[in-house]
Amino acid sequence: MNANTLSAEMICVLKSANPFSRSPVVTNQDVWGKGFPDLQSHNAHASDAVLKAIENSRNGQCAKTSIVFSAEPGVGKSHVISRIHHQIQKQGGTIFVYASFGKFSDLSRIKYQFQQILSESLMQTGSEEVSQWQELAVLLLKDICRVKYPKVKLPETYPKVFEMFSKTIPKNPSLLDNLVTAARQLGLQGLDPDIIRAILLTLSNDCSYAMKWLSGKDLAEKIADRLVLPNLDREEREQQTFDVVRQLIDFIGHYRELVICFDEIDGTGCDDSGYSKAQIVSQLVKDLFDNLTKGIILTVMMPATWKEQILALSTGSGIADRVSSHGDIIRLNYLNENSVVDLVKLWLQEFYAEKGINPPTPLFPFEESQLREIGQERPTVRKMLKWCQQNWHISPDIIVEPDPLIEKTKVEDIFTKLINDQKVDLLDDVDLLDEALRFSFSELVSKTIEGVKITDVEKVEPAKENNGYINFKIVGEEEGQKIVIGISIRQESSWQSVTAGLKRLINYEKFGLTRGCLLRSKEINSSWSAYAIVQKLRYELGGEWVSLQEQDLKPLVAACLIRNSAAEYEVLPEELKAFLEQNQTLEKNPLIKEIMSKPSGELPEGLSPDEMLISFPSSDDSDESDDSGLTFI
């Protein structure tokens, strides 16, 4: 068959669909979801090293290992990570944690944010068709039943255990207390009883609340009281966060192998002490490795990052030895003649199968000689896929110049992908929202929004008295007058934290404000002392309460994440800036416009109730009778 024998319908399909149009940048969604077609032979030495380390941990040959992958942007680091995860999921028996540095927004709170990322990873579906949290909870429950309730017969499948357990808990309120007590007899003495309770609660109808608490976030008082899970204030929570992380990784290691992967740690930015992102993450890896009983930690970075930042930091500290206990770092390879041909063939094979087309050759419309010539240049995976995207055409007799519009949409493709990839509990990630809003307003300096010319974005002083409750200040000019807007993002469910933030927000004199702006998506209970303060802010002090909406925040977060991982995405600062300005992404954002507009004094629309209780079915609503509360048959 040649191109001339293809049907008109096939030609139409090939003209209208480019299998390489998808952005080649790997995101969280690709790591956890289906991902890209995977050429498993490419950089197999790297993925095999991790899989071998898992095997060695499982058989007791080497309980814990740390490995470093090193490669330039686009070579395929994240592709290999995605491969490792999918093979782990297929094999079963291993818990996978993916910590993309694009999700780390405050370097000074990296341990607390790692607790959140750890919990978010465990919310992902594991190898047993339930979340990884629930997979661990079922293993714990089975262990308890084996020791304490040997006559109890649990269902065979994990989803069925979840279904039956969630029906049992409402019938027997004391059951959880008994299970927590029994768990202490399983060699889990170092695990806090509250953590045990929360893990078991992931099998209940309150699983979303339990997972939220395990991520270090507070619950509404009525929810916390009902679940018997304590809320801690911010300072206590952050002091205890690494101890919680340590307990959780010990617990995971008791039942499963554990792989923790750190990605996208390169880039600019330092903490107040001058340490780079990569150095701070490496210190975290060292701390995790020192406290790890069993498991594998994988860190990926560019060669320059390893040489200039990690090795430089490690003089006398032993950090490099703990970040890469495996030995020498594993360098990922560029493509060659053979792997270029195999990569393109793999992508086209999937495409043609999906479209039901039998092509003239497996590489059609490309020529093998053409691809091999490119392979001699040792391109990155990303560069090769971009070339295919720009040179896709169906007639070998027509030479099509690369479409300049494709390159112009590079930022747009990544931007759209990141918007679709954002997590479901975005509104609860206050640190990420803080960073995204700071970045957005910094990009708007010298621009006029709603009659206010933005001149600066400042930290809040005095910092000690503020204690982080006012996130930042927007400085501007309005009708010739200087204005300073204090921004406080308060998404907590506890009245203490909301009240503490509002008390600072109305103290204009101490913090140098002319206007206070509360950002919150949830209602404030009229019985809280915070309610009277927010009324004073709105009616007496000319301040405002602006509702947070996910659809308004997602573009700001996506832009911020591109900025954070610009080197990985191969996006220049001026390209991102041009994209944002061309589309007026920031200027026309409803949240930014509302913050900068003159306060109306009205209560914001679209507020959500603050975690209403879930109603459990009573025993009368069930056809099942269960006197013991723990008989699953």
Do 340 and 326 belong to one domain?
A: no
Residues 500, 561, single domain; the answer is: yes
Residues 210 and 145 in one domain: yes
What one-character DSSP code corresponds to residue 107?
Answer: G
Q: At 400, which helix (H) or strand (E)? A: none
Taking CA atoms, 365 is separated from 19, 255, 523, in Å, by 12, 50, 58
If asked whether residues 11 and 69 sit together in one domain, one would say: no
Residue 606 falls inside a structural domain: no
Whether residue 573 lies inside any domain: the answer is yes
Q: Read off the CATH number of the domain in which 71 is found.
A: 3.40.50.300
- Does a structural domain hold residue 604? no
Whether residue 462 is found in the same domain as residue 579: yes
> Looking at the structure, do residues 184 and 226 belong to the same domain, yes or no?
yes
Same domain? For 453 and 550 the reply is yes
- Closest by alpha carbon to 500, among 533, 527, 476? 533
Model pLDDT, residue 105: 63
Residue 391 and residue 507 in one domain = no
Task: In whole angstroms, give the CA distance from residue 65 to residue 53.
Answer: 7
Whether 628 maps to a domain, the answer reads no
pLDDT score recorded for residue 302: 92
Verify that 107 and 149 share a domain, yes or no.
no
Judgement on whether residues 245 and 260 belong to the same structural domain of the protein: no
242 and 367 in a single domain? The answer is no
Question: What's the structural domain count of the chain?
Answer: 4
pTM equals 0.73
Which range marks the domain in which residue 390 is found? Answer: 3-24+335-402
Last residue of a domain, one of 277, 304, 331: 331
Same domain, 234 and 260: no
Residue 585 lies in a domain: yes
| pLDDT for the residue 420 | 83
170 within some domain: yes
pLDDT along the chain (633 residues), means of 10: 54 77 77 82 94 94 94 88 92 93 75 92 90 94 88 84 84 86 81 93 92 91 91 81 93 94 83 83 93 94 91 76 92 95 93 85 91 94 91 57 48 87 78 93 94 94 92 94 95 85 94 95 87 92 93 93 84 89 93 93 78 33 38 43
**259, 296 contact by CB (below 8 A):** yes
Give the Cα separation of 477 and 480 in Å (integer).
Answer: 6
Alpha-carbon distances, residue 307 vs 102, 269, 430 (angstroms): 22, 18, 34
